Amino acid sequence: MSRTMDSGTSPARVRSTGSLSRRMIGIAALWIAVLLLGGGVALDRVLRDAVTRNFDDGMSYVLTAMIASAEIGPEGEVFFNRALADQRFLEPNSGLYYQISAPGHEDWRSRSLWDRALKLDTVHPAKDLRVYDSSQFPDESLRVMERTIMLPGSKVRWTFAVAQARASLDGQIRTLRSTLVESFALLGLGLFILATLQTFYGLRPLRAVRREIVRMRTGAKTRVTEPMPSEVLPMVEELNALLAHNESQAEEARAHAGNLAHALKTPLTVIMNAASAHAPDLDETVMREAMTMRRQVDHHLARARAVGRRGTAQARADVWPSLTAVERAIARLFPDARIDMDGDQSAVVRIERQDLDELLGNLIENAAKYGGGSVFATVRRTGEWVEIDVEDDGPGIPVADRERIFDRGVRLDTSKPGTGLGLAIVRDVAEIYGGTVELDESEDLGGLLVRLRLPPAG
């Protein structure tokens, strides 16, 4: 359900893209699973090969001992000049067997084979050592190692083979894998719990920001003041700056409304008193006071428009196109005035184009209206400012009146039409954008010089 704001409007709905916590935990769990699975498979292979290699080394030792002890008897048979040390060769079906075979000769088998025999390839025997798994015994899987050599005093190639049941090897591998699975499962669970705790703890400052915003919405606080981590602090500072900016704009709006109400109160009172008394000069009184109210409304509307547009962070305007457009408009209003321009044509200021046009229009119109016919505008960049000088060849303004001329409705020359709001609006709008306006005497034309300073656009 949507909450209803005090103003009667509902807050804008923001589409959720899912839980950030679940997303972070899911990514961590997937990455942990991939790493543990890959590491477990690799470690299983390494340890399995090591156990198998150790198992084969034992068989190789026995095979080497057999070959070293083997001799050829008087009738060409093979016998051992010393008995093999492992007693399992003497126990039937003990799981450890040997066999010596050659074409045309009876197999010599260990007693442990009893009535069974190993199937060896004595017709096309390999010259190198062969190790392989065999299932020739239905009830017993074997690991077989064999080598074919020619013993001294014999022209026959004898195949020596040692076979051992895989039960002990497979048991070691199963134990190893069980230990790996349990260890990696426990490790994965620990890492998942760690990732979960890290996620909830890491996102804790965001929940703190939310609580602070709730307190601000309910009026308990006006700023986020709780200490924050350095990663979240810039966002909190920007939030506080935005709140301060909104409060400043709201305060300015209240001040403008109060000023406008106060400014209109007196003219309305005069009109009402004149109407109640049936004053004979009621028409003149209404016209005079209506003009006063119009000046006040125009002034405050100009300020309100500038304040509203100032909230745009990307406000920027090219000075030269604005100056050119204003020059063409003023030239049509005052065809006898000569307006010249010079300076930096690439200057850009941090102000909305409409407000820049209004500033320049007021300055150049005043120069053309009250000057002697010559107006000169100069644009230049000086350090942290873009300066726009507007000069005329008129009588100028005495030093004593230069501050008073910025007051609303003040006109030093009442012989020409006007509201007396031009310079007041220029100063107010310029200050809203962080600029300044100064009056001085023109050294070249001898009249008034108005210097408008505005911050450059980055």
The pLDDT score that the predictor gives to residue 353 is 87
Structure tokens at 269: 């009172």
Q: Please compute the mean of the pLDDT values over residues 89-118 and round it to a whole number.
A: 90
Structure tokens of 391? Answer: 């000069």
Same domain, 264 and 122: no
Mean pLDDT calculated for residue range 429-453? 88
Is the pLDDT assigned to residue 5 strictly greater than 50? Answer: no
Cβ–Cβ under 8 Å, residues 240 and 224: yes
CATH number at residue 331: 3.30.565.10
pLDDT at position 415 is: 40
- Residues 270, 347 within the same domain: no
187 and 89 both lie in a single domain:
yes
Same domain, yes or no: 325 and 290: no
Residue 419 has pLDDT above 50, yes or no: no
Query: How much is the average pLDDT of 40-56?
Result: 94
How does residue 273 score in pLDDT terms, banded at 50, 70 and 90? confident
Q: Is the pLDDT of residue 126 over 90?
A: no
Percent of the chain residues topping a pLDDT of 70: 86
251/343 same-domain check: no
Residue 227 lies in a domain: no
The answer to the question of residue 437 being in a domain is: yes
Number of domains in the chain: 3
356 shares its domain with 328? yes
Tell me what pLDDT residue 106 has: 86
Which has more confidence, 291 or 357?
Answer: 357
* Domain finish residue from 308, 324, 347: 308
Indicate the DSSP class of residue 436. Answer: E
What does the pLDDT read at residue 453? 92
Range of the domain at 262: 233-308
**DSSP class per residue in 145-201:** EEEEEE-TT--SEEEEEEEEETHHHHHHHHHHHHHHHHHHHHHHHHHHHHHHHHHHH
Write down the pLDDT at residue 413: 45
Q: What is the DSSP string of 168-181?
A: HHHHHHHHHHHHHH
How far is 89 from 388, CA to CA, in rounded Å?
Answer: 110
209 within domain boundaries: no
Q: H/E element holding 388?
A: strand 385-392
- Of 270, 292, 308, the position where a domain reaches its end is 308
Q: Is residue 429 part of a domain?
A: yes
- In this structure, the chain runs to a length of 458
pLDDT score recorded for residue 76: 78
Helix and strand numbers (H, E) in the chain are: 8, 14
Beta strand pairing call for 338-343 and 374-382: parallel
Q: 158: which 2 tokens?
A: 């004898």
The verdict on residue 324 lying in a domain is yes
Top pLDDT among 14 and 109 is at: 109
User: Could you give the 3-state DSSP secondary structure of residue 272?
Assistant: helix
Same-domain check for residues 84 and 58: yes
pLDDT digits 0-9 by tens, 200-241: 888 888 888 888 888 888 877 888 888 888 888 888 888 888
Question: Residue 85 has what pLDDT?
Answer: 83
Of the CA atoms within 13 Å of residue 315, those in its CB half-sphere come to: 22
pLDDT of residue 421: 46
Q: With cut-offs at 50, 70 and 90, classify the pLDDT of residue 362.
A: confident
First to last CA, the chain: 44
> What's the Rg (C-alpha) of the chain?
51
Distance CA 450, CA 184 (A): 79
Rounded percentage of the chain residues whose pLDDT exceeds 90: 33
What does the pLDDT read at residue 302? 63
Average pLDDT over residues 368-387: 89
Q: Is residue 285 part of a domain?
A: yes
Most confident of 5-19, 88-102, 117-131: 88-102
Residue 393 to residue 328: CA distance in whole angstroms:
20
Instruction: Note the pLDDT of residue 251.
Output: 75
Q: Is the pLDDT of residue 335 over 70?
A: yes
The pLDDT value recorded for residue 142 is 93
Q: Is the pLDDT reported for residue 8 higher than 60? A: no
Identify any residues that bridge with 381 across adjacent strands, giving them in sequence order.
386
Mean pLDDT, all residues of the chain: 82
pLDDT value, residue 179: 93
Identify whether 440 is part of a domain.
yes
Residue 251 token pair = 């305060």
- Could you count the other beta carbons within 10 Å of the beta carbon of residue 46? 10
pLDDT of residue 409: 43
Both 344 and 421 in one domain: the answer is: yes
Measured in degrees and rounded to the nearest 5, phi and psi for residue 119 equal: -90, 105
Using DSSP's 3-state secondary structure scheme, residue 345 falls into coil
Q: Pick the more confident residue, 433 or 300.
A: 433
Q: Mark whether 112 and 256 lie in a shared domain.
A: no
Largest distance between two CA atoms of the chain: 162
* 117 and 175 share one domain: yes
Domain boundary among 275, 291, 308: 308
Quick check: 454 and 306 in contact, CB under 8 A?
no
> Pick the residue with more confidence: 246 or 263?
246
Give the CB-side neighbour count of residue 219, counting CA atoms within 13 A: 1
Q: Which of 85-89, 189-193, 248-252 has the lowest mean pLDDT?
A: 248-252
| Segment 138-158, tens digit of pLDDT | 889 999 999 998 888 788 888
For 4-24, letters b (16+ CB in 10 Å) and e give eeeeeeeeeeeeeeeeeeeeb
In this structure, are 300 and 319 located in the same domain? no
Q: What is the pLDDT of residues 382-398, one digit of tens each?
A: 888 999 999 998 888 88
Q: Confirm whether pTM is higher than 0.85.
A: no
Are 327 and 300 contained in the same domain? no
Q: Note whether 393 and 371 are within 8 A (CB).
A: yes
| 215 part of a folded domain | no
Asked whether the predicted pLDDT for residue 43 surpasses 50, the reply is: yes
What lies within 8 Å, CB to CB, of 410 at 6+ separation is: 404, 420, 424
